[in-house]
Amino acid sequence: MLKLVRRILALFFWVGITMLFLDISGIFRTWFSWMSHLQFMPSVMRHDHVILPLLLIATLLLGRIYCSVICPTGILQDLFSWVAGWKVFRQKRKTALSNRFHYSEPKQWLCICILVLFIIMTIAGFNAITVLIAPYSAYGRMVIALLRPLYIMLNNILASWSEANDNYLFYTIEPQQLPAVLLWIAAASALILLVLSLLGGRTYCNTICPVGTILGFLSRYSWLQINVDEDKCIKCGLCERNCKASCIKVSKGMPVHIDHSRCVVCGNCQQLCPKSAIRYSHPTSAISHQTPSNSTLSRRSFLTVSASMLTAAALKADEKTTDGGLAIIEDKEIPIRNTPLTPPGSLSARNLQQHCTACQLCIAQCPNGILSPLQSFDSFMQPEMQYTKGYCRPECTVCADVCPTDAIRPITIEDKTAIQIGRAVWISKNCIPLTDGVTCDNCAVHCPAGAIQMVPKDKGYTFDADSAHWIDEYGNAADPKTTLMIPVVNTEKCIGCGSCEYHCPSRPFSAIYVEGNEVHREV
């Protein structure tokens, strides 16, 4: 019974969270966002006063159900284990894979060392280490890097079918450009989890995972625990050989020992016990409560400052003599920003760095494809905005909606119009009216904040406030269709959305780009 309930709930959570990372339509985002908000590390990061106590209380009451039902990495290991137990695999190896576990001594010193190391690293700001072992973000990375490309490929196959049949069920999604290091890390995590789960069940959860260690402190004293009725027990050892957590020790003439700090309440032992000697109930022994050490985490950040050098290479309008064909469009290159751009709601790059667990959910969900994982050591795999393939569209707050850690705080569309995450900077040597000698006002036209105006390139013009026209020295109004104009930015209105940078025709470097604000501000 316990096992069945656990399996149903676990499957529900696992599919929900996995789909949250895979989703391209936005449906799962609407219905299953709360699942990512239930995760432990994200709750710690966002200092959640409701979810976090709830998770701790649940553990104190029921044991480590978090690890077997809510944590996707935990469920993934169970799945590996389960698949390995299938008949097809069993037949190849004479030694049955079920019955393959055995009790191991607790490696508490290792757990505590890793936990202490984890907390120190997190406080010190060595992001790379912390995001590598945090279970939820590790899972996110694996799905994003390994599963999502396949999912997108499948979607695109369906989209081409859809297009061929002239219906609009599926549409093509451009695969995300992910850094190779993300791929390697995800593949390594998956491989390690696979090997560990096949060899030792929940080894990862009970030796490496810092969340497992914290919850283990509590589950030792939980109200409901797995107990053995010594009167019924015949010491067959079936429970020990099937305990994924390797926490049951059966020895002749001794009461069965269960290490409750490692037990994830999976119920496998209860279901297998031939004598129904295993119960999930309140132990007879006295309970002493111990409050967990729950440090609010903050980190020091190192902001690297790098000089920006932008080379100009504008697309030249060739003299046209024949008709048809398409001009080749050079890919845009990412400008070097002194301060990285982070989504509205993240308050500052520093705040994001301190609160983000690098789960990649925002990166997967961004409908504009402008978020990508950073590779620097101090903000390892955390999101950064780039405007080469799109810009931060005014009607969208998806990253803020999905962020489970509140590293990107929830904002409304109206809030967004007043948050300045950076400001546009004009690079005259790339600007098309100056390089190609043709009129262009695409940045001004597409600015949703109305922060960009066009002014005549020649200083001879004066602005006539009465007619709202530019007047040349002979008193004639400038014709906006023919007069070469250049953009000027009103920094007070600019919100840094990157529409100008994205729409700028200058390639590979835009003639107007967004420089990040150290701290986001209201305009």
Partner 1 sequence: MDRREFLKLSAAASALAACGGKHNILPADIDPLGHHTGEVPTDKMTYRTTPSTGDKVSILGYGMMRLPHKPIMPVAGSSDASAEEIDQEQVNRLVKYALDHGVNYFDTSPAYCRGLSEQSTGIALEASGYDRSKYFIATKMSNFSPTQWSRAESIKIFQKSLRSLRTNYIDYLLLHGIGGGGMDTYRGRFVDNGILDYLLEQREKGVIRNLGFSYHGDIEVFDYLLSRHDEYKWDFVQIQLNYVDWHLAKQVNPSNTNAEYLYGELDKRGIPAVIMEPLLGGRLAKMPDHVVAALKQRRPEDSVASWAFRYAGTKPRILTVLSGMTYMEHLQDNIRSYSPLQPLTQEEQEWLEGEIANLFVSYPTIPCTDCKYCMPCPYGINIPAIFAHYNRCVNQGDMPESMQADNYQAARRRFLIGYDRAVPRERQADHCISCRQCVIHCPQSIQIPEQMRRIDDFVEKLKQNKL
Interacting residue ranges for partner 1, rule: CB under 8 A: 163, 168, 171-172, 315-329, 331, 389-390, 393-395, 432, 436, 438-442, 445-446, 481, 503, 505
What is the Rg, in whole angstroms, of the alpha carbon atoms belonging to the chain? 29
Q: Based on CB atoms, which residue is closest to partner 1, 105 or 395?
A: 395
d(CA 246, CA 249): 8
Q: Minimum Å distance from CB 180 to partner 1?
A: 19
| Residue 75 or 432 with smaller CB distance to partner 1 | 432
- Minimum CB separation from partner 1 for residue 24, in Å? 13
- Which CB atom, from 299 or from 393, has the smaller least distance to partner 1? 393
In angstroms, what is the minimal distance from the CB of 356 to partner 1?
Answer: 28
Backbone φ and ψ for 129, nearest 5 degrees, come out as: -65, -50
Closer residue to partner 1 in complex, CB, 84/313: 313
The two structure tokens encoding residue 399: 């990253």
Pairing of strands 485-489, 452-456: antiparallel
The token pair that represents 224 in the structure block: 């409901």
Going by C-alpha positions, the residue among 350, 343, 395 that lies closest to residue 371 is 343
SS3 415: helix
d(CA 380, CA 178): 13
Instruction: Give phi and psi for 356, each to the nearest 5.
Output: -85, 135
- The answer to whether the Cα torsion of 172, 178, 180, 186 is positive or negative is negative
User: Which C-beta is closer to partner 1: that of 229 or that of 415?
Assistant: 415
Q: Is 450 left (phi over 0), alpha (psi -120 to 50) or beta?
A: left
Pick from 283, 235, 243: nearest CA to 262: 243
To the nearest 10°, report the CA torsion of 84, 85, 87, 92: 60
Closest contact distance (angstroms) between CB of 405 and partner 1 is 28
Nearer to partner 1 by C-beta: 22 or 444?
444
Q: Which residue's CB is nearer to partner 1, number 316 or number 459?
A: 316
Smallest gap from residue 71 Cβ to partner 1 (A): 37
Identify whether the C-beta of residue 121 lies closer than 8 Å to the C-beta of residue 155: no
Nearest distance from C-beta of residue 354 to partner 1, angstroms: 33
Which secondary-structure segment (H or E) carries 444? helix 442-446
**Residue closer to partner 1 (CB basis): 179 or 394:** 394
| Smallest gap from residue 521 Cβ to partner 1 (A) | 24
Using the minimum distance from each CB to partner 1, give the nearer residue, 245 or 449: 449
Task: Report DSSP letters for 31-61, one per residue.
Answer: HHHHHHHT-HHHHHHTT-TTHHHHHHHHHHH
Q: Name residue, tokens 């996110």.
A: 140
Helices (H), 209-320: 210-219, 238-241, 268-272
**Min CB(415)–partner 1 separation in Å:** 16
Among 19, 49, 53, which Cα is nearest to 36's? 19
The minimum distance between CB 152 and partner 1, in angstroms, equals 15
* Distance of closest approach, residue 460 Cβ to partner 1, in angstroms: 22
Q: How many other C-beta atoms lie within 10 A of the C-beta of residue 491?
A: 12
85 versus 390: smaller Cβ distance to partner 1: 390
H-run or E-run covering 446: helix 442-446
Give whichever of 252 and 481 is closer to partner 1, judged by the CB atom.
481
Please report which helix (H) or strand (E) contains residue 280, including its range: strand 278-281
Least CB distance to partner 1 at residue 139 (A): 31
CB of 389 to partner 1, least distance (A): 8
Q: Are strands 419-426 and 278-281 parallel, antiparallel or unpaired?
A: unpaired
- Cβ closer to partner 1: 87 or 320? 320
C-alpha 175: how far from chain center: 16
Task: Tell the smallest beta-carbon distance from residue 446 to partner 1 (Å).
Answer: 7
Tokens 């050098």 found at: 309
For 469, other C-beta atoms within 10 Å of its C-beta total 15
Of 91 and 167, the one with the shorter C-beta distance to partner 1 is 167
